[in-house]
Chain A
Amino acid sequence: MNEDVAVKNKRLGRNLAIVAIAMFGFGYALVPLYDVLCEWKWIERDRPDAIKAIPETAYEIDKSREVNVEFMTTLNESTPMIFSAEMTQLKVHPGEYHTVNFYAENKTASPMVARAIPSFSPALTSTYFEKVECFCFSEQTFAPHEKKVMPMRFVLNPALPHEYKTITLSYTFFDNTQTAIKK
């Protein structure tokens, strides 16, 4: 192999290595890019960071139909808690306000920080499920063995499309105590 080719090979090898390193960065760039794309208006999905309170507005109650709202409670991995809802399902008219109580208990003898993350099925109904008050808006702090009653007040926006007859709302509690200590 002559000298020229050896130099060309080294240069091309180096340039391709730079491309590889840039692609490593691109992998990380996908993280913010994903958030940006998910906020585009035409991409609708429920996102944990879109959990926020909506001010109570008076809607006209749509008595003509009933939607079955189901509640599920889950604990992530081995989160040492007891977590349940006062009812497993509730029939509601769109536009009508309801409050549902959730119960949580810290099973450990030490303080605990936990966060409940909601998830909707069908996912597209999340936009019409308006919460005025929810324990999922912020992290919850529990004293040792503390029991809590946590209300969730919501309304279904009457603009909810008619094909949705059942909405499942699932909450998962994540134990964030370790992360909270680090902070």
Chain B
Amino acid sequence: MSAVTAEHDHDDHHHDDHAHGPEKGWLRWVVTTNHKDIGTLYLVFALAMFFVGGTMAMIIRAELFEPGMQFVDPQFFNSMTTMHALVMVFGAVMPAFVGLANWMVPMMIGAPDMALPRMNNMSFWLLVAGILLLASTLFMEGGAPAGGWTLYPPLVLQTGKALPFAIFSVHLLGISSIMGAINIVATILNMRAPAMSLMKMPMFVWTWLITGFLLIAIMPVFAGAVTMLLTDKFFHTSFFDAAGGGDPVLYQHIFWFFGHPEVYVMILPTFGVASTIIPVFARKPLFGYSSMVYATAAIAFLAFIVWAHHMFTVGMPISGELYFMYATMLIAIPTGVKVFNWTATMWKGAMTFETPMLFSISFVVLFTLGGFTGLMMSIAPADFQYHDSYFIVAHFHYTLVPASIFMIMAAGYYWMPKWTGHMYNEKIGQLHFWLSAISVNILFFPQHFLGLAGMPRRIPDYAIQFSDWNMISSIGGFIFGASQLLFLYIVVDTIKGGTGEKVTDEVWEDAHKHGLEWTLPSPVPYHTFSTPPTVIPCDHD
């Protein structure tokens, strides 16, 4: 650990080669190229989409509260499961992490802004356009896409008028995230302060560098797959049409070549946030920094060679099943390295349990649980029982809700005082944590039982033996959904002034030893690190 000289921004006001403050009026938010403004836009948009996608989840859980059809017709129910997934993945989780990267990456590596600020603005507004286009399909003849977020043919080709709109929306979302990823990679590779070597970078920056490469590699493949759907439907090609010599299974291979790395796009930055927060509240350096870097890279590499474990039941040759089974099991090794490193970081640390740390600890526990069910499903012969049942629903929700979503919220609690200069209400924050952590388990844990007992996913009705656990799961869902309004309240309250307590520059005790962002004033000025910092805090050896 090294001492720190804070490069405060008041030195920079003498420079006249950049604007001094934000533009006046609402137009600021449309034309801005400032990484902090764009980060805020992404985060606010992601929060809004979290509630939109969450509302869809509430409709799903309300319908499943009791057996039989209660509120919605089956077609709309299937639209809800499909749209819930698309909105949460492309509208909430990914934009939230891009927003965090926009805010934090330049501040963490001592850069004045993102590498390509104009493209940064464009990628945000393309995201908005893509999501609006997707949302518009809800009001079209034939309804929104209802064939599942994987958009498998031939089912998805039966979508009504909405199909081409959904596909173009995927194109826009893809272009938006490729542009975001290019920007982040270019920022990290070119804009670091001279003293910031690659192996001194904070883990959050490392995970985003690798995520950026993943996105650049996979989003175009997905764009290609949906383009093939489009030409199959409207231009009489036969990529996936068996009658014309095509093969619907080919779509599944292409989709999951994108889809598996895609789930790591949502989890690697999660790991980065956890590796950032845990050392600060354990008051110890991160344990095994370099092994964390290599584990992240290993997970990213493995992501490309395990895709067909999503389609064990499709009728693959036995050699394929065995290969994908063993390759998938390998992922447990680098992931295990990470879990043990977080645990070792906490070991004998002087821990305190503020809201960000509470979320981080529950992430380590609950993500591990989600990882274990993943390992169960990697066993090809056993997967035939779990496939397309509620077991897989429970599995990926454990890796997405108490992992990705919790860590996005933890990041919010952790950095909000730095962004706004105000302290959030710790009491309500902890209440939000406990309600969320308990209800998320009431919501998703019973779904393991439902899946093992044979309840299929994406079905609006079910046999009566599934009634009890479904009702419990729905009750958990309603508590979880309502609890998130507390988060909304806290965000608004903190922006307006929070507890009124004046936060220090480092906010958290000794945080300046862990990251450059804590050497800046709170609230953080509009322009930072116009001259690169010379001394880099390094919380690892």
Contact (A9, B217) CB under 8 Å given A43-B320, A48-B242 = no
Query: In terms of DSSP, what is the predominant structure of the interface of chain B?
Result: helix
**B317–A9 CB distance below 8 A:** no
B396 to chain A, nearest CB (A): 24
**A20–B119 CB distance below 8 A:** no
**A44–B191 CB distance below 8 A:** no
Contacts of A12 in B (CB 8 A): 115, 185-186, 189-190
Q: How large is the interface on A (under 10, 10 to 19, 20 to 34, 35 or more residues)?
A: 35 or more
**B218–A16 CB distance below 8 A:** no
**CB of B21 within 8 Å of the partner chain:** no
Q: How many residues of B contact A (CB 8 A)?
A: 45
**A77–B319 CB distance below 8 A:** no
**B119–A115 CB distance below 8 A:** no
**A9–B319 CB distance below 8 A:** no
Report the bound CA distance from A152 to B382 in whole Å: 37
**B220–A20 CB distance below 8 A:** yes
**CB of A31 within 8 Å of the partner chain:** yes
Q: Which of A57-74 contact B (CB under 8 A)?
A: none
**CB of A162 within 8 Å of the partner chain:** no
A76 to chain B, nearest CB (A): 7
Report the bound CA distance from A86 to B176 in whole Å: 56
**B182–A176 CB distance below 8 A:** no
**CB of B257 within 8 Å of the partner chain:** yes
Report the bound CA distance from A172 to B248 in whole Å: 14
**B224–A9 CB distance below 8 A:** no
Convert B271-287 into 0s and 1s, putting 1 for each residue whose CB lies closer than 8 angstroms to a CB of A.
00000000000000000
**CB of A163 within 8 Å of the partner chain:** no
**CB of B219 within 8 Å of the partner chain:** yes
Contact (A30, B257) CB under 8 Å given A5-B190, A45-B315 = yes
B194 to chain A, nearest CB (A): 11
**B216–A20 CB distance below 8 A:** yes
Report the bound CA distance from A43 to B316 in whole Å: 9
**CB of B112 within 8 Å of the partner chain:** yes
Contact (A20, B243) CB under 8 Å given A12-B115, A12-B189 = no
Residue in contact with B242 in the complex, picked from A42, A172, A179, CB distance below 8 Å: A172
**CB of B293 within 8 Å of the partner chain:** no
Q: Which of A33-51 contact B (CB under 8 A)?
A: 34, 42-45, 47-49
Contact (A43, B317) CB under 8 Å given A1-B113, A174-B243 = yes
**B317–A45 CB distance below 8 A:** yes
15 residue pairs from A and B, CB less than 8 Å apart = A8-B190, A12-B185, A13-B183, A16-B182, A20-B178, A23-B217, A23-B219, A26-B224, A28-B228, A30-B221, A43-B317, A47-B247, A76-B154, A179-B236, A179-B238
